[in-house]
Structure 1
Amino acid sequence: MSSYNADERTGAILEMSRIEKFSEIFSELESCNKDAQKQKIQETNEIIDEMDEDEIRSTFTTELFDKMGKMIKEKKLSMENAIVLLKHVGYYKVLLNLWNSAFHSSLLRRRFEKMIIEEDQKKKKEKNEKLLADLCECYTMLHNYYISREELLSICVPCLLKVAVKKEEDEVTQKEVEMALLALTCLREGIV
């Protein structure tokens, strides 16, 4: 029985150290340039790979998503790097079938909704299709609830389908297709 308690304590220490390590690296993002951020996000993604469901729930709180949104707004975190991190989080959220309302309650969700709509409304020549697809993927994978805004559905579904039908065979494109298909699976019936 005492070995069980020792194992349990060791597990708790490991869990805390992953969460603390993630938090430490995440807090360093604000003071890094874009390339250093990219490296730190790779490190955070490696930590996420090792996390279990409880650790992910404990780490990705409304406060963390709000902080990320603030960092993006203040240009302390590049959108490109934020998307890499958020796609990774969304992937694990879907993979582990996690229900977590943190993103739904965050200001970052509202920011993404606004960005998706604004990007979609740009003229064809000005529209960044890659950014729009990335935003839609992050939004749908991190969102728990039915997407009740018809306007967002009418943007995200065609955008994700467009990415999903790419037939190129290079590894990067294949990963984009897989992420788009995964994001589409996050849309639930009865959403309209």
Structure 2
Amino acid sequence: MNRMDMCDEDKFNDDVQELSFGGKFLRLFSELERCGEIEQKQKIGEMNEIIDGMNKVEWKSVFKAELFDEIHTMVKEKKMSMENAILLLKHAGYCKALKNVWSLGFNDSEMRRRFEKMIFEEAKKKEEEKEKLIIDLCECYISLSYDFPHESLSICMPCLLKVALNEEENEKLKRKRK
């Protein structure tokens, strides 16, 4: 076997490795519909670990509008809680940002429209007990989107800046206590 053949074999093995991340993720995703709330959380934890191993190409091949639309449908049909959807999408958005992936999938999905609607509705209510929900929605929305209407940013940015400021203040208090 010459050097070029070995490089081709290594590239083939890398491609197989890439496909295995997507395949594992999609297999677990297809099982979510038949799981209860707790088992879904466990599977989503496994899926989040798989997302960590994905590269840009793999991420883009999995997180297409169809996947986001399927998540939307599952939430709508109460086959997945919004809490579990956020758990999955928040991690996907975080990894998208870390990997610097440019993807249009979320922007073209029903899930984005659902998040926008929920963000606007929750912002109007201004209920303290729903503050975590709007924070989670904004985190998902901003990390998964590639463009933002002014109205969305005017709600999400102050919300996320408030969270960051609170975290910074909590860190300062912890350091003072030590």
Give the structure-2-normalised TM-score: 0.89
Question: Partner letter of residue 113 of structure 2?
Answer: R
Measure how far apart 1:124 and its partner are.
Answer: 3.0
Q: Which residue of 2 aligns with 1:156?
A: 156
1:139 equivalenced with 2:141 (yes/no): yes
Question: Partner letter of residue 25 of structure 2?
Answer: F
Question: Partner letter of residue 160 of structure 1?
Answer: L
Question: Partner letter of residue 55 of structure 1?
Answer: E
1:105 equivalenced with 2:108 (yes/no): yes
Unaligned runs of 5+ in 2: 172-178
Unaligned runs of 5+ in 1: 170-192
Q: Map Cα deviations across residues 14-50 of structure 1 (whole Å, 9 max, x no partner).
A: 1111111100001111111110011000000110111
Measure how far apart 1:158 and its partner are.
Answer: 1.5
- Max radius of gyration: which structure? 2
Question: Partner letter of residue 45 of structure 2?
Answer: Q
RMSD between superposed Cα atoms in Å: 1.3
**In 2: Cα distance, 1:61 partner to 1:124 partner:** 33
**3-state DSSP of counterpart to 2:33:** helix
Question: Partner letter of residue 143 of structure 1?
Answer: S
Question: Partner letter of residue 120 of structure 2?
Answer: I
Q: Which residue of 2 aligns with 1:96?
A: 99
Measure how far apart 1:123 and its partner are.
Answer: 5.1
Q: Which residue of 1 aligns with 2:57?
A: 54
Q: Which moved more, 1:37-46 or 1:74-83?
A: 74-83
Task: Kindly tell me the number of residue pairs found equivalent between the two proteins.
Answer: 166
**3-state DSSP of counterpart to 1:128:** helix
Question: Partner letter of residue 49 of structure 2?
Answer: E
The structure 1 segments of at least 4 consecutive aligned residues displaced by more than 2 Å after TM superposition are none
Question: Partner letter of residue 157 of structure 2?
Answer: V
Q: Which residue of 2 aligns with 1:33?
A: 36
